């Protein structure tokens, strides 16, 4: 099973050397990807609404961090995990992703989602209600910008007239994976994405989602290996035995890639690296 390391954006701190040391440890341990989470704004709770992450949580900017990690590493692949795409300008994201792919030597994967924080959408002056439809069109536009010399496109959300991105990415186009478990996301991923990256605990409901996704792939004339799955294993405490059981469960269900998603603070840099070591040992099968 390929293992992916979530960049501990909330816990790593602000020391560039520690960020570099963590990234190089993930590479040295043989992880397949480093995945960088995304939020532009923190938000305070209000009017009965409580955010998953509050105004005190640290989220390093996704593309700047990916560029820094590209310079710190040589072989490990890099990914956003996940970028909230519809709250951003499509052309700017396409440009940033192209540059990150170029500077990393073609190691970028763009993981995208639609998000859960309507306050963040409002603060960025973007439409919360059309986020799914916009994401689908954004995927099409970005792939054109990464692949064509000049792009002309007119859709519901975009109007491009003979424009391009120079320099372009190494990968033409950059792989796009979708996060999320809503039915609309599964349908969109099965139709448009290079892969699917859900957060799902083992169990009957997760197996149903997996079969549902595979069914949608067939409906779109695709085979399962055309859109592989990376399962995120949410962890609330240091419990390598449980991590190993979850990895085994998904391995037996045909999943060949997993990422541990720690929700707990493991302390200093050594503690963050220890999570990487323990997960690798637990999930080796």
Q: Is the pLDDT of residue 66 over 80?
A: yes
Phi, psi of 278 (to 5 degrees): -65, -40
What is the C-alpha separation between 104 and 76, in angstroms, rounded?
A: 10
Are 254 and 225 contacting, i.e. CB atoms less than 8 angstroms apart? no
Mean pLDDT for 122-148 is 98
Are 54 and 44 contacting, i.e. CB atoms less than 8 angstroms apart? yes
Mean pLDDT for 118-124 is 97
CA quadruple 179, 182, 184, 190: dihedral sign: positive
3-class state of residue 226 by DSSP: helix
Q: Is the pLDDT of residue 253 over 90?
A: yes
The mean pLDDT value of the chain amounts to 97
What is the C-alpha separation between 225 and 48, in angstroms, rounded?
A: 43
Task: Kindly compute the dihedral angle of the four CA atoms of residues 184, 188, 189, 191, in this order, to the nearest 10 degrees.
Answer: 140
What is the C-alpha separation between 234 and 5, in angstroms, rounded?
A: 12
Mean pLDDT for 128-134 is 98
How many Cβ atoms from other residues are within 10 Å of residue 221's Cβ? 8
3-class state of residue 110 by DSSP: strand
What is the C-alpha separation between 78 and 65, in angstroms, rounded?
A: 10
Token reading at 112: 């995208």
Number of domains within the chain:
1
Q: Is the pLDDT of residue 267 over 90?
A: no
CATH of the domain at 58: 3.20.20.30
Q: What is the residue range of 75's domain? A: 2-282
> How confident is the model over 3-28, as pLDDT tens digits?
999 999 999 999 999 999 999 999 99
Mean pLDDT for 155-171 is 98
> How confident is the model over 68-120, as pLDDT tens digits?
999 999 999 999 999 999 999 999 999 999 999 999 999 999 999 999 999 99
Mean pLDDT for 133-152 is 98
Mean pLDDT for 165-182 is 98
């Amino acid at each position: 099973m390929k293992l992916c390391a979530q960049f501990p954006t909330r816990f790593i701190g602000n020391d560039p050397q520690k960020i570099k040391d963590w990234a190089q440890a993930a590479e040295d341990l043989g992880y397949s990807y480093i995945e960088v989470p995304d939020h532009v704004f923190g938000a305070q709770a209000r009017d009965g609404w409580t955010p998953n992450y509050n105004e005190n949580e640290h989220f390093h900017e996704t593309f700047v961090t990916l560029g820094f990690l590209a310079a710190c590493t040589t072989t490990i692949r890099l990914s956003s995990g996940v970028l909230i795409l519809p709250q951003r300008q499509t052309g700017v994201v396409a440009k940033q992703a192209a540059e990150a792919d170029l500077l990393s030597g073609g190691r970028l994967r763009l993981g995208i989602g639609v998000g859960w924080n309507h306050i963040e959408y409002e603060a960025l002056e973007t439409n919360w209600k059309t986020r799914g439809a916009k994401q689908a069109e954004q995927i099409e536009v970005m792939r054109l910008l990464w692949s064509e010399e000049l792009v002309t496109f007119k859709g519901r959300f975009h109007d491009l007239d003979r424009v391009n991105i120079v320099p372009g990415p190494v990968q033409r186009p950059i792989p796009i994976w979708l996060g999320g478990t809503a039915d609309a996301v599964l349908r969109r991923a099965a139709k448009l994405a290079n892969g699917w990256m859900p957060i799902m605990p083992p169990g009957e409901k997760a197996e149903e989602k997996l079969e549902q996704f595979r069914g949608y792939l067939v409906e779109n004339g695709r085979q399962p290996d055309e859109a592989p799955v990376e399962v995120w294993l949410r962890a609330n405490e240091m419990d390598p035995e449980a991590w190993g059981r979850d990895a085994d469960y998904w391995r037996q269900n045909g999943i060949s890639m997993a990422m541990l998603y720690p929700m707990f603070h493991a302390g200093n840099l050594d503690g963050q690296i220890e999570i990487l070591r323990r997960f690798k040992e637990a999930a080796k099968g």
